Structure 1
Amino acid sequence: MEYLCSECSTQLSDFEIELNELYPVGKLYCEFCQSKHERKIIKKIAEDFANELDFYDFKK
């Protein structure tokens, strides 16, 4: 049976299928789409953390 990426519809390799089984996120993603989603999550976390530290920005 062929598994396709939920976002770009490319066929998943055996390695990508194994990664999706080990670390499920609810949808099947190829390696490229998975890293794209990870970058979005990392960016969101960094922005949220930076917003929490805004109280250190004293006015001069």
Structure 2
Amino acid sequence: MKYLCSKCSNQLTKFEIELNELYPVGKLYCEICQKKHERKLIEKLKKSFENDLDIYNFKH
């Protein structure tokens, strides 16, 4: 059975299928699309922490 990436429709390798089974994110992603997805999530987290830490940016 062939598994395709949800984003780019490339066929997943055996290694990519195993990664998706070990660390499911709801969709099947190839390694390249997974990294893009992770970067987007990291940016969202970074922005939310920046907003939370604004209380420390007070003027002297």
Settle same-fold status: TM greater than 0.5.
yes
Identity of counterpart residues, as a percentage? 70
Matches within 5 A, 1:20-31: 20-31=20-31
**Unpaired runs of 5+ in structure 2?**
none
Q: Specify the alignment match of 1:52 in structure 2.
A: 52
Q: If the length of structure 2 is used for normalisation, what is the TM-score? A: 0.94
**Unpaired runs of 5+ in structure 1?**
none
Structure 1 runs of 4+ with >4 Å offset: none
| Cα RMSD (Å) | 0.8
Give the aligned length: 60
Q: If the length of structure 1 is used for normalisation, what is the TM-score? A: 0.94
CA distance in 2, matches of 1:35, 1:15: 15
